[in-house]
């Protein structure tokens, strides 16, 4: 698929506090409104960013965002999420106005968390190498710390990951397809990173 056919839809998001591990309940809330989200292979729901409270929760500021990466042909339907009020872990959130953002012509790239089915970092690394090889992508990468993720099947483990030294056409391909599993729970979705620094 041409990278121009995939876009990020960025919505304002109003709310207060949400768990750092919010991918699964957020996915369920959106699928409740649009069931087809569960079956769209290129759709990914970015993790919501917020200030870490240090107790397993994040606090949203006034510029909080909900960002969904999806085929551009789905954008008009996704934009109708504007105005939706939903509950997330006992708290109310409101989706505000949305707008489209094209994928970035930029490297290096960073993913907050990637899951591959492996808990051990060595096995995780081998899985990433295998997936990059499948896509015929040549890249160096840096793994961050191990993380936990709640899924429908229980707890899974993942790692943050930075890819660097990517040719631009490969960087766009990675943004379209991602890496690993649980894309709809916020995993394997790559965004630009300003520099090669310690990954957390």
Q: What is the pLDDT of residues 124-172, one digit of tens each?
A: 999 999 999 998 988 889 999 899 999 999 999 999 999 998 888 899 9
Q: Is residue 185 situated within a structural domain?
A: yes
Q: What CATH number does the domain containing 66 carry?
A: 3.30.70.1890
Rounded-to-integer distance, Cα 29 and Cα 68, Å = 13
Q: Are residues 19 and 71 in the same domain?
A: yes
* pLDDT tens digits, 64-109: 999 999 999 999 999 999 999 999 989 999 999 999 999 988 889 9
Find the CATH number of the domain harbouring 130: 3.30.70
In a domain, 91, yes or no: yes
Q: Are 79 and 9 in contact (CB under 8 A)?
A: yes
Residue 199, domain member (yes or no): no
pLDDT of 2: 59
Residue 185, token pair as written in the block? 């729970």
Q: Is the pLDDT of residue 195 over 60?
A: no
Total number of domains in the chain: 2
Of 36, 67, 102, the residue that ends a domain is 102
Tell me the residue range of the domain where 128 lies: 109-192
Predicted pLDDT at 152? 95
Domain boundary among 85, 102, 119: 102
Average pLDDT over residues 176-187: 97
Do 61 and 122 have their domain in common?
A: no
Whether residue 177 sits in one domain with residue 143: yes
Residue 194 has pLDDT above 80, yes or no: no
Q: Is residue 197 part of a domain?
A: no
End-of-domain residue from the set 53, 74, 102: 102
């Amino acid at each position: 698929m041409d990278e121009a056919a995939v876009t990020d839809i960025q919505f304002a998001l109003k709310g207060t506090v949400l768990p750092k591990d919010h991918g699964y309940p957020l996915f369920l809330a959106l699928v409740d409104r649009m069931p087809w989200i569960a079956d769209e292979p290129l759709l990914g729901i970015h993790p919501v960013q917020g200030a870490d409270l240090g107790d397993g929760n994040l606090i949203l500021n006034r510029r909080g965002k909900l960002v969904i990466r999806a085929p551009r042909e789905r954008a008009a339907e996704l934009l109708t999420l504007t105005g939706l009020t939903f509950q997330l872990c006992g708290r109310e959130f409101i989706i505000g106005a949305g707008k489209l953002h094209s994928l970035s012509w930029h490297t290096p790239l960073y993913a907050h968390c990637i899951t591959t089915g492996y808990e051990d970092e060595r096995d995780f690394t081998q899985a990433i190498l295998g997936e990059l090889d499948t896509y015929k992508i040549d890249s160096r990468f840096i793994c961050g710390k191990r993380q936990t993720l709640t899924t429908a099947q229980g707890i899974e483990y993942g790692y943050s990951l930075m890819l660097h030294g990517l040719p631009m056409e490969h960087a766009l391909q990675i943004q379209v397809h991602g890496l690993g599993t649980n894309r709809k729970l916020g995993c394997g979705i790559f965004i630009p990173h300003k520099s090669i620094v310690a990954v957390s």
